[in-house]
Structure 1
Protein backbone atom coordinates (compact mmCIF):
# COMPACT_ATOMS: atom_id res chain seq x y z
CA UNK A 1 0.00 0.00 0.00
CA UNK A 2 2.81 2.39 0.90
CA UNK A 3 4.43 1.73 -2.49
CA UNK A 4 1.16 2.53 -4.30
CA UNK A 5 0.80 5.79 -2.39
CA UNK A 6 4.38 6.82 -3.23
CA UNK A 7 3.77 5.95 -6.91
CA UNK A 8 0.55 7.97 -6.89
CA UNK A 9 2.18 10.98 -5.25
CA UNK A 10 5.04 10.92 -7.74
CA UNK A 11 2.60 10.69 -10.65
CA UNK A 12 0.51 13.59 -9.29
CA UNK A 13 3.63 15.74 -8.89
CA UNK A 14 4.70 14.95 -12.47
CA UNK A 15 1.17 15.74 -13.68
CA UNK A 16 1.10 19.08 -11.86
CA UNK A 17 4.51 20.02 -13.29
CA UNK A 18 3.29 19.06 -16.77
CA UNK A 19 0.22 21.26 -16.38
CA UNK A 20 2.26 24.21 -15.12
CA UNK A 21 4.67 23.88 -18.08
CA UNK A 22 1.61 24.02 -20.36
CA UNK A 23 0.49 27.27 -18.72
CA UNK A 24 -2.23 25.88 -16.46
CA UNK A 25 -2.79 27.43 -13.04
CA UNK A 26 -3.02 24.90 -10.19
CA UNK A 27 -5.90 25.74 -7.83
CA UNK A 28 -5.82 22.64 -5.62
CA UNK A 29 -4.31 19.20 -5.26
CA UNK A 30 -6.09 16.31 -3.55
CA UNK A 31 -9.36 18.19 -2.99
CA UNK A 32 -11.56 16.00 -0.80
CA UNK A 33 -15.28 15.82 -0.11
CA UNK A 34 -17.72 13.15 1.06
CA UNK A 35 -17.84 11.59 -2.44
CA UNK A 36 -14.08 11.22 -2.79
CA UNK A 37 -11.08 13.14 -4.08
CA UNK A 38 -10.11 15.15 -7.13
CA UNK A 39 -6.38 14.80 -7.81
CA UNK A 40 -5.82 18.24 -9.36
CA UNK A 41 -8.05 21.24 -10.00
CA UNK A 42 -6.56 23.74 -12.42
CA UNK A 43 -7.39 26.51 -14.84
CA UNK A 44 -6.64 26.47 -18.55
CA UNK A 45 -7.30 30.06 -19.52
CA UNK A 46 -10.96 30.67 -18.63
CA UNK A 47 -11.72 26.94 -18.27
CA UNK A 48 -11.81 25.10 -14.95
CA UNK A 49 -10.17 21.70 -15.36
CA UNK A 50 -10.63 18.70 -13.07
CA UNK A 51 -7.71 16.30 -13.54
CA UNK A 52 -7.65 12.61 -12.71
CA UNK A 53 -4.10 11.25 -12.55
CA UNK A 54 -3.61 7.56 -13.32
CA UNK A 55 -0.25 5.82 -12.98
CA UNK A 56 1.13 2.44 -13.89
CA UNK A 57 4.58 0.93 -13.49
CA UNK A 58 3.78 -1.76 -16.05
CA UNK A 59 1.05 -2.51 -18.56
CA UNK A 60 0.36 -5.97 -17.08
CA UNK A 61 -3.02 -4.70 -15.85
CA UNK A 62 -3.54 -2.38 -18.82
CA UNK A 63 -2.55 1.18 -19.52
CA UNK A 64 -3.26 4.01 -17.07
CA UNK A 65 -5.89 5.33 -19.49
CA UNK A 66 -7.70 1.98 -19.54
CA UNK A 67 -8.24 2.20 -15.77
CA UNK A 68 -10.86 4.94 -16.29
CA UNK A 69 -13.96 2.73 -16.26
CA UNK A 70 -17.51 3.99 -16.87
CA UNK A 71 -18.06 3.85 -13.08
CA UNK A 72 -14.92 5.95 -12.51
CA UNK A 73 -16.12 8.42 -15.16
CA UNK A 74 -19.45 8.81 -13.34
CA UNK A 75 -17.59 9.32 -10.05
CA UNK A 76 -15.39 12.04 -11.62
CA UNK A 77 -18.49 13.85 -12.90
CA UNK A 78 -20.05 13.63 -9.40
CA UNK A 79 -16.86 15.00 -7.84
CA UNK A 80 -16.71 17.90 -10.30
CA UNK A 81 -20.36 18.71 -9.52
CA UNK A 82 -19.59 18.60 -5.78
CA UNK A 83 -16.71 21.06 -6.22
CA UNK A 84 -18.88 23.41 -8.29
CA UNK A 85 -21.62 23.17 -5.63
CA UNK A 86 -19.07 24.04 -2.94
CA UNK A 87 -18.04 27.16 -4.87
CA UNK A 88 -21.70 28.15 -5.20
CA UNK A 89 -22.30 27.64 -1.47
CA UNK A 90 -19.29 29.89 -0.76
CA UNK A 91 -20.88 32.61 -2.88
CA UNK A 92 -18.28 32.22 -5.64
CA UNK A 93 -20.08 30.22 -8.35
CA UNK A 94 -18.04 29.15 -11.37
CA UNK A 95 -19.73 30.67 -14.41
CA UNK A 96 -17.20 29.63 -17.06
CA UNK A 97 -16.71 26.37 -18.91
CA UNK A 98 -15.23 23.31 -17.23
CA UNK A 99 -13.98 19.91 -18.27
CA UNK A 100 -12.47 16.71 -16.95
CA UNK A 101 -9.02 15.64 -18.17
CA UNK A 102 -6.96 12.55 -17.46
CA UNK A 103 -3.20 12.53 -17.14
CA UNK A 104 -1.75 9.06 -17.65
CA UNK A 105 1.72 8.49 -16.22
CA UNK A 106 3.84 5.47 -17.05
CA UNK A 107 6.70 5.05 -14.62
CA UNK A 108 9.63 2.99 -15.89
CA UNK A 109 11.92 0.86 -13.72
CA UNK A 110 14.85 3.19 -14.55
CA UNK A 111 13.02 6.10 -12.92
CA UNK A 112 11.94 7.78 -16.14
CA UNK A 113 8.31 8.67 -16.77
CA UNK A 114 6.06 9.24 -19.77
CA UNK A 115 3.20 11.69 -19.25
CA UNK A 116 0.18 11.69 -21.55
CA UNK A 117 -2.49 14.40 -21.18
CA UNK A 118 -5.95 13.52 -22.42
CA UNK A 119 -8.02 16.69 -22.60
CA UNK A 120 -11.83 16.30 -22.38
CA UNK A 121 -11.27 12.65 -21.41
CA UNK A 122 -14.57 12.41 -19.52
CA UNK A 123 -17.69 13.99 -20.96
CA UNK A 124 -20.57 15.01 -18.70
CA UNK A 125 -24.05 14.59 -20.13
Structure 2
Protein backbone atom coordinates (compact mmCIF):
# COMPACT_ATOMS: atom_id res chain seq x y z
CA UNK A 1 0.00 0.00 0.00
CA UNK A 2 1.39 3.41 -0.92
CA UNK A 3 2.04 6.06 1.70
CA UNK A 4 -0.61 8.25 0.03
CA UNK A 5 -3.25 5.54 0.38
CA UNK A 6 -2.16 4.90 3.97
CA UNK A 7 -2.53 8.61 4.69
CA UNK A 8 -5.97 8.61 3.08
CA UNK A 9 -7.07 5.58 5.10
CA UNK A 10 -5.85 7.20 8.32
CA UNK A 11 -7.78 10.36 7.49
CA UNK A 12 -10.95 8.44 6.66
CA UNK A 13 -10.72 6.52 9.94
CA UNK A 14 -10.32 9.78 11.88
CA UNK A 15 -13.21 11.37 10.00
CA UNK A 16 -15.46 8.37 10.70
CA UNK A 17 -14.56 8.49 14.41
CA UNK A 18 -15.25 12.23 14.43
CA UNK A 19 -18.68 11.76 12.85
CA UNK A 20 -19.61 9.00 15.32
CA UNK A 21 -18.51 11.21 18.24
CA UNK A 22 -20.81 13.92 16.92
CA UNK A 23 -23.86 11.69 16.74
CA UNK A 24 -23.83 10.68 13.09
CA UNK A 25 -24.79 7.16 12.06
CA UNK A 26 -22.51 5.82 9.36
CA UNK A 27 -24.37 3.83 6.74
CA UNK A 28 -21.45 3.04 4.42
CA UNK A 29 -17.74 3.66 4.03
CA UNK A 30 -16.01 3.66 0.66
CA UNK A 31 -19.30 3.27 -1.19
CA UNK A 32 -18.49 2.22 -4.75
CA UNK A 33 -20.71 2.29 -7.81
CA UNK A 34 -20.06 2.44 -11.57
CA UNK A 35 -19.69 6.23 -11.34
CA UNK A 36 -17.07 6.34 -8.59
CA UNK A 37 -16.57 6.23 -4.84
CA UNK A 38 -17.91 8.22 -1.88
CA UNK A 39 -15.80 8.08 1.26
CA UNK A 40 -18.64 8.07 3.80
CA UNK A 41 -22.43 7.94 3.62
CA UNK A 42 -23.99 8.85 6.96
CA UNK A 43 -27.09 10.17 8.67
CA UNK A 44 -27.24 13.38 10.66
CA UNK A 45 -30.59 12.83 12.28
CA UNK A 46 -32.97 12.29 9.35
CA UNK A 47 -30.65 13.97 6.83
CA UNK A 48 -28.60 11.84 4.44
CA UNK A 49 -25.01 13.11 4.29
CA UNK A 50 -22.45 12.30 1.62
CA UNK A 51 -18.96 12.98 2.97
CA UNK A 52 -15.73 13.40 1.06
CA UNK A 53 -12.59 13.20 3.22
CA UNK A 54 -9.44 15.02 2.18
CA UNK A 55 -6.28 14.37 4.19
CA UNK A 56 -3.10 16.43 3.96
CA UNK A 57 0.20 16.71 5.80
CA UNK A 58 0.78 20.31 4.64
CA UNK A 59 -0.99 23.15 2.88
CA UNK A 60 1.68 23.33 0.19
CA UNK A 61 -0.89 22.68 -2.54
CA UNK A 62 -3.77 24.55 -0.90
CA UNK A 63 -6.52 23.65 1.49
CA UNK A 64 -7.88 20.12 1.19
CA UNK A 65 -11.42 21.27 0.37
CA UNK A 66 -10.05 23.04 -2.71
CA UNK A 67 -9.45 19.62 -4.26
CA UNK A 68 -13.24 19.21 -4.46
CA UNK A 69 -13.61 21.24 -7.64
CA UNK A 70 -16.69 21.65 -9.81
CA UNK A 71 -15.97 18.49 -11.81
CA UNK A 72 -15.70 16.39 -8.63
CA UNK A 73 -18.82 17.99 -7.21
CA UNK A 74 -20.73 16.91 -10.31
CA UNK A 75 -19.41 13.35 -9.96
CA UNK A 76 -20.35 13.25 -6.25
CA UNK A 77 -23.83 14.40 -7.20
CA UNK A 78 -24.13 11.53 -9.70
CA UNK A 79 -22.83 9.05 -7.11
CA UNK A 80 -25.39 10.30 -4.60
CA UNK A 81 -28.18 10.00 -7.18
CA UNK A 82 -27.08 6.43 -7.93
CA UNK A 83 -27.01 5.66 -4.20
CA UNK A 84 -30.50 7.06 -3.66
CA UNK A 85 -31.85 5.22 -6.71
CA UNK A 86 -30.47 1.94 -5.37
CA UNK A 87 -31.81 2.71 -1.87
CA UNK A 88 -35.39 3.89 -2.56
CA UNK A 89 -36.14 4.10 1.16
CA UNK A 90 -33.95 7.25 1.19
CA UNK A 91 -35.45 8.90 -1.91
CA UNK A 92 -37.51 11.43 0.07
CA UNK A 93 -34.83 12.38 2.59
CA UNK A 94 -33.08 15.70 2.45
CA UNK A 95 -29.40 15.30 1.78
CA UNK A 96 -26.26 17.37 1.78
CA UNK A 97 -22.60 17.16 0.79
CA UNK A 98 -19.93 17.67 3.44
CA UNK A 99 -16.17 17.78 3.21
CA UNK A 100 -13.99 16.78 6.13
CA UNK A 101 -10.44 18.08 6.01
CA UNK A 102 -7.94 16.13 8.08
CA UNK A 103 -4.58 17.80 8.70
CA UNK A 104 -1.75 15.56 9.84
CA UNK A 105 1.32 17.82 9.73
CA UNK A 106 3.34 15.48 11.95
CA UNK A 107 2.84 12.50 14.23
CA UNK A 108 2.03 14.66 17.26
CA UNK A 109 -0.89 16.72 15.97
CA UNK A 110 -4.08 16.34 14.06
CA UNK A 111 -6.80 18.76 13.15
CA UNK A 112 -10.21 18.05 11.67
CA UNK A 113 -12.25 20.69 9.89
CA UNK A 114 -15.82 19.64 9.09
CA UNK A 115 -17.39 21.74 6.35
CA UNK A 116 -21.12 21.09 6.38
CA UNK A 117 -23.00 21.80 3.16
CA UNK A 118 -19.66 22.30 1.44
CA UNK A 119 -21.44 22.57 -1.91
CA UNK A 120 -24.88 22.22 -3.42
CA UNK A 121 -25.80 20.81 -6.78
CA UNK A 122 -29.14 21.78 -8.26
CA UNK A 123 -31.86 22.17 -5.69
CA UNK A 124 -30.40 19.43 -3.44
CA UNK A 125 -33.42 17.22 -4.16
CA UNK A 126 -32.90 14.50 -6.72
CA UNK A 127 -36.35 13.06 -7.30
TM-score normalised by L of structure 1: 0.92
State the 1:111 CA deviation: 3.9
Aligned to 1:48: 48
Match of 2:12 in 1: 12
Provide the C-alpha distance between the structure 2 equivalents of 1:94 and 1:12, rounded to a whole number of angstroms: 26
SS of corresponding position for 2:84: helix
Q: Is 1:103 the counterpart of 2:100 in the alignment? A: yes
CA distance in 2, matches of 1:94, 1:10: 31
Shift of 1:68: 1.1
Matched residue of 1:28: which SS?
Answer: strand
Unpaired segments ≥5 residues, structure 2: 123-127
Cα distance in 1 for partners of 2:76, 2:119 equals 8
Distance 2:90 2:11 in 1: 30
Q: How far does the alpha carbon of each residue in 1:32-69 deviate from its partner, in whole angstroms, 9 at most, with x for none? A: 00011010000000100000001111111111111111
Structure 1 segments unaligned to the other structure (5+ residues): none
CA distance in 1, matches of 2:90, 2:17: 27
Q: How does 1:34-113 map onto structure 2 within 5 Å?
A: 34-88=34-88, 92-113=89-110
